[in-house]
């Protein structure tokens, strides 16, 4: 099972040597479909994030992996998030060499000049995120080029889902932000799935944005034989998103070799 740098042990603050163990909920979520999440994050950073972008990043396990790759590969970003895993990614990126450092005589500034902004709000350790009025106020005042939203379920007929009531309030705001690109990052298992809270409709994803994008993964090939009904529902949902809502849907193949 593929494991990200952030899950391997701890967050470590260099000067004070404070060690913070990762929570069970978020490490479990990162481990689920971890290769799919890595693939999604790589595709998003390479195709939808440019140097100098302003990015509004949601909480969640896939968003954390996106943060890892953004801070390692992009320069001069301004990233506002309520995702405390993004802070861990930011500190890890300090130790990594950017693939863009081709000229050894020209070193990047610390963290490639990227700026990490943490929202206000109350820290909720289960989700390792900042929630509540403070987070909402921070997001309201920020103007992004790209908004990246996480979800635990998505059905065209019923809406976009998450697990908790407090995170639903923050995600509702993300759906209404004026931006160039509004993007949902979610692995294939969430397409067609319900969860506890619907925080908005598919139509809202398309509002206040020049383009609406969903980046997901292809179901494993063996499921086309073993669970054809599950795959059929996935395909039906994708077709509705593309034809009825004019959403750009990218199904990224996962390399399991």
Q: Which of the pair, 10 or 24, is modelled with greater confidence?
A: 24
Give the model's confidence band at 3: pLDDT under 50 very low, under 70 low, under 90 confident, else very high: very low
- Average of per-residue pLDDT values in the chain: 87
Backbone angles phi, psi at 200, to 5 degrees: 170, 175
The pLDDT score that the predictor gives to residue 235 is 97
- What topology does CATH give the domain 33-97+109-252? Rossmann fold (3.40.50)
Encode burial over 35-61: b for 16+ CB neighbours within 10 A, e otherwise.
ebbbbbbebbbeebbeeebbbbbbbbb
Structure tokens at 92: 């890890």
Where helices occur in the chain by DSSP H, the ranges are 24-31, 34-48, 61-73, 84-93, 133-140, 165-176, 202-206, 223-226, 228-243
pLDDT tens column, 87-116: 888 988 876 654 445 555 556 678 899 999
The stretch 185-189 carries a mean pLDDT of 95
- Predicted confidence at residue 79, as pLDDT, reads 98
pLDDT at 11 over 80: no
pTM of the model: 0.86
pLDDT for the residue numbered 15: 40
CA–CA gap between residue 105 and residue 110 (Å, rounded)? 15
pLDDT at 157: 96
What backbone phi and psi angles, to 5 degrees, belong to 161? -115, 155
Asked whether 196 and 161 are in contact (CB, 8 A), the reply is yes
- The rounded distance, in Å, linking the Cα atoms of 6 and 30 is 10
Sign of CA dihedral 88, 81, 160, 219: negative
Taking 70 as the threshold, does the pLDDT of residue 215 lie above it?
A: yes
What number is the average pLDDT over the span 198-208?
95
pLDDT digits (tens, 9 = 90+) for 126-181: 888 999 999 999 999 999 999 999 999 999 999 999 998 999 999 999 999 999 99
Residue 16 or residue 231, greater confidence: 231
Place of tokens 């992996």: 65
Average pLDDT over residues 44-64: 96
Looking at per-residue pLDDT, the higher value among 10 and 119 belongs to 119
The closest alpha carbon to 55, from 201, 182, 152, belongs to: 182
Q: Binning pLDDT at 50, 70 and 90, where does residue 1 land? A: very low
Angle, in degrees to the nearest 10, between helices 61-73 and 34-48: 50
pLDDT at 17: 44
pLDDT of 55 > 80? The answer is yes
Of residues 88 and 230, more confidence is placed in 230
pLDDT in tens, 28-52: 656 666 899 999 999 999 999 999 9
Kindly list the strands in the beta sheet with 209-217, ordered across the sheet, starting from the edge strand earlier in the chain.
Answer: 115-118, 78-81, 54-57, 146-150, 179-185, 209-217, 248-252
- pLDDT of amino acid 104: 52
pLDDT above 80: residue 257: no
* Cα–Cα dist 68/41, whole Å: 9
Q: CA 145: distance to chain centroid?
A: 15
62's CB contacts (< 8 A; 6+ apart) are: 37, 40, 41, 150, 185, 186, 187
């Amino acid at each position: 099972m593929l494991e990200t740098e952030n899950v391997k042990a701890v967050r470590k603050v260099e000067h004070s040597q404070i060690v913070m163990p990762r929570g069970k909920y978020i490490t479990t979520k990162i481990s689920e479909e971890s290769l799919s999440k890595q693939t999604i994050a790589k595709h998003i950073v390479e195709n939808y994030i440019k140097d100098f972008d302003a990015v509004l990043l949601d909480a969640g396990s896939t968003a954390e992996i996106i943060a890892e790759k953004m801070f390692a590969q992009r320069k001069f970003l301004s990233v506002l998030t309520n995702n405390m895993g993004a802070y861990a990614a930011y500190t890890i990126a300090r130790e990594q060499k950017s693939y863009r450092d081709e000229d050894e005589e020209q070193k990047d500034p610390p963290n490639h000049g990227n700026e990490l902004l943490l929202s206000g709000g109350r820290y909720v350790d289960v989700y390792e995120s900042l929630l509540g009025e403070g987070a909402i106020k921070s997001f309201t005042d920020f103007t992004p080029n790209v908004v990246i939203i996480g979800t635990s379920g998505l059905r065209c007929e019923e809406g976009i889902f998450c697990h908790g009531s407090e995170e639903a309030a923050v995600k509702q705001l993300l759906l209404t932000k004026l931006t160039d690109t509004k993007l949902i990052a979610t692995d294939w298992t969430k397409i067609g799935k319900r969860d506890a809270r619907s925080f908005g409709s598919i139509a809202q994803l398309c509002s206040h944005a020049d383009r609406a994008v969903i980046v997901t993964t292809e179901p494993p090939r063996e499921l086309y034989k073993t669970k054809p009904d599950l795959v059929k529902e996935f395909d039906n949902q994708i077709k509705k998103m593309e034809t009825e809502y004019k959403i750009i849907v990218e199904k990224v193949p996962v390399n399991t070799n």
